[in-house]
A and B are shown apart, each in its own frame.
Chain A
């Protein structure tokens, strides 16, 4: 087929000038955070073109979703972005709830906010550790993974799983969190700001780290918008947009937090923005702990939400509903919705189309890394090859969500 002709390597080699060299980076390169392959055209040590080659992790999750019941899709969403699983759960559940016209109870919404912010901390901690490690500051990685371990233990306490949580359900949560859970979150939150100071002490004043990031990977606000960049890289380019504040979902309008922005547009600005975001997430979690409402964590919708185990054993109707939901799913009114949320890496969105049956007709996942990767060339063109690793670290891509 003619449209398929030309592998990127050949294409780059044919277009390249005589003195340019075409080299391959990845997909097994440790600094590409997964299986990203970049075909680079370089002039000496200066980058001329970048051809990202993706798809090594493509598993056809969107196709698989079409063969599952609505509630069976939730575990698939964890596996798309495995560093920020609860944001994916939240986005999908909100989209289906929008289709159903269902709203989760207030307590469920607050717990969702708390866990999504913990998930954001988890994602930012991995970014910080691996980013610093790519630059050569290995120590920070060990420190951030120490705190990440605490967060994973909290996830394990509520969901029974450390990474693939699947804790949110359509219409609420899968179950109440354990009794001492809020105390454990409080203990973690109390000590966490000091830990951020610790990372900052290691990195912010470090001349090597500063020199590797300052003025590197410049992305203007206009370019960022044109290329679909979202999340911390967009805010580090001076665009003041955060869906949590501007288009609130899941009760985010009840929480007070600042949205950090920077106009420096470089890797350093992205570092600073994410550090402040971590401090703001801590404030949001503190507010959820202080004002946690009482009540159920599942919506009163017996034909959609699975009944409690206890009711199933004592009430005939609950048993019937359980049987029907598990074996036949539940029909969702026909229509199409797009639900966007602000996840750790940027704007995640789920576009769910229903044809009125119990299985989604189409699930499309908009993930921030997919668009952000397109901006890589703009950020690196005309810069040194060694800066590429710093820039890849600073845009914080997850290959699982690029390839899906």
Chain B
């Protein structure tokens, strides 16, 4: 946290007004403004919320805009709130020396989303991990099997309704 913390911008309108020249925001707007459902710039981190069915195309768009490195993806379980699951993709740009977060929200009932392995093969293990520990399916994933837990395991340990200790 060497850099100074800039003022937070909460909400889609505030981000569009405050960061109109941001390369990722520009690219997403030029591609499909409807896909950007929410946005925030908080603690120097830009978060763009994308419509669930558009995530693969959105990641292709930011990839073309210079955000070339898939760094991380994971899920957050907001149980019992709805929509239940949040997927966070952290994308790094080697050119801009900057990171953005794209996120999608998923309903809790048999959640599934497009796999982004066609965009970044690096997402392979990450999506398997989310599938294993959260039970979110990734359509088009080449090898969607459990990765951490034994293959015959029942349940998804990182869900909030899965206890930390004791019997299930």
By a CB distance below 8 angstroms, the chain A residues around B150 are: 55
- Taking a contact as CB atoms under 8 Å apart, the answer to whether B72 and A249 are in contact is no
- Taking a contact as CB atoms under 8 Å apart, the answer to whether A253 and B151 are in contact is no
By a CB distance below 8 angstroms, the chain B residues around A58 are: 148-149
Closest B residue by C-beta to A338:
B90
By a CB distance below 8 angstroms, the chain B residues around A403 are: 148
By a CB distance below 8 angstroms, the chain B residues around A55 are: 146-150
By a CB distance below 8 angstroms, the chain A residues around B131 are: 3
Considering the chains assembled together, what is the distance between the CA atoms of A251 and B145 in angstroms? Answer: 42
Indicate whether B56 reaches chain A with its CB closer than 8 angstroms.
Answer: no
- Taking a contact as CB atoms under 8 Å apart, the answer to whether B88 and A225 are in contact is no
Indicate whether A233 reaches chain B with its CB closer than 8 angstroms.
Answer: no
Indicate whether A394 reaches chain B with its CB closer than 8 angstroms.
Answer: no
By a CB distance below 8 angstroms, the chain A residues around B101 are: 336, 338
- Taking a contact as CB atoms under 8 Å apart, the answer to whether A249 and B120 are in contact is no
Interface string of B47-71 (1 = CB under 8 A from A): 1000000000000000000001111
With A66-B164, A335-B42 known as contacts, the answer to whether A4 contacts B151 (CB < 8 A) is yes
With A3-B144, A58-B149 known as contacts, the answer to whether A374 contacts B125 (CB < 8 A) is yes
- Residue from A97, A353, A366 in contact with B1 in the complex, judged by beta carbons closer than 8 Å: A97
Interface size class of A (residues with CB under 8 A): 35 or more
- B66-113 contacts to A, CB under 8 A, are 68-72, 74, 76-77, 88, 90, 92, 94, 97-99, 101
Indicate whether A291 reaches chain B with its CB closer than 8 angstroms.
Answer: no
- Taking a contact as CB atoms under 8 Å apart, the answer to whether A101 and B5 are in contact is yes
- A40-85 contacts to B, CB under 8 A, are 54-55, 58, 60, 62-64, 66-67
With A4-B145, A252-B2, A335-B42 known as contacts, the answer to whether A351 contacts B157 (CB < 8 A) is no
> From residue B92, how far is it (CB to closest CB) to chain A in Å?
8
- Residue from B74, B98, B162 in contact with A364 in the complex, judged by beta carbons closer than 8 Å: B74
Considering the chains assembled together, what is the distance between the CA atoms of A340 and B2 in angstroms? Answer: 12
- A111-152 contacts to B, CB under 8 A, are none
Closest A residue by C-beta to B68:
A225
- Taking a contact as CB atoms under 8 Å apart, the answer to whether B158 and A63 are in contact is yes
Indicate whether A239 reaches chain B with its CB closer than 8 angstroms.
Answer: yes
How many residues of B are in contact with the other chain, CB < 8 A? 47
Indicate whether A337 reaches chain B with its CB closer than 8 angstroms.
Answer: yes
Indicate whether A99 reaches chain B with its CB closer than 8 angstroms.
Answer: yes
- Taking a contact as CB atoms under 8 Å apart, the answer to whether B145 and A6 are in contact is yes
- Taking a contact as CB atoms under 8 Å apart, the answer to whether A98 and B164 are in contact is no
Indicate whether B161 reaches chain A with its CB closer than 8 angstroms.
Answer: no
Indicate whether A248 reaches chain B with its CB closer than 8 angstroms.
Answer: yes
By a CB distance below 8 angstroms, the chain A residues around B98 are: 247
By a CB distance below 8 angstroms, the chain B residues around A166 are: none
By a CB distance below 8 angstroms, the chain A residues around B1 are: 94, 97-98, 103, 249-250, 339
Q: Is the interface of A mostly helix, strand, loop or mixed?
A: mixed
Indicate whether A381 reaches chain B with its CB closer than 8 angstroms.
Answer: no
Closest B residue by C-beta to A251:
B2
- Residue from A246, A249, A349 in contact with B71 in the complex, judged by beta carbons closer than 8 Å: A349
- Taking a contact as CB atoms under 8 Å apart, the answer to whether B122 and A227 are in contact is yes
By a CB distance below 8 angstroms, the chain B residues around A336 are: 42, 45, 47, 76, 88, 101
Considering the chains assembled together, what is the distance between the CA atoms of A4 and B153 in angstroms? Answer: 9
> From residue B97, how far is it (CB to closest CB) to chain A in Å?
5
- Taking a contact as CB atoms under 8 Å apart, the answer to whether A99 and B125 are in contact is no
By a CB distance below 8 angstroms, the chain B residues around A366 are: 71-72, 90
Considering the chains assembled together, what is the distance between the CA atoms of A404 and B74 in angstroms? Answer: 14
Indicate whether A155 reaches chain B with its CB closer than 8 angstroms.
Answer: no
Indicate whether A385 reaches chain B with its CB closer than 8 angstroms.
Answer: no
Considering the chains assembled together, what is the distance between the CA atoms of A366 and B137 in angstroms? Answer: 21
Closest B residue by C-beta to A227:
B122
- A367-404 contacts to B, CB under 8 A, are 370-371, 373-374, 403-404
- Residue from B77, B133, B145 in contact with A3 in the complex, judged by beta carbons closer than 8 Å: B145
Indicate whether B152 reaches chain A with its CB closer than 8 angstroms.
Answer: yes
> From residue A341, how far is it (CB to closest CB) to chain B in Å?
11
Residue among A4, A239, A338, A374 having the largest count of chain B Cβ atoms under 10 Å: A338
With A63-B157, A362-B74 known, 15 other A-B pairs at CB within 8 A are A55-B147, A55-B149, A66-B164, A98-B43, A103-B1, A225-B69, A227-B122, A249-B1, A335-B42, A335-B43, A336-B45, A338-B90, A351-B90, A361-B76, A374-B122
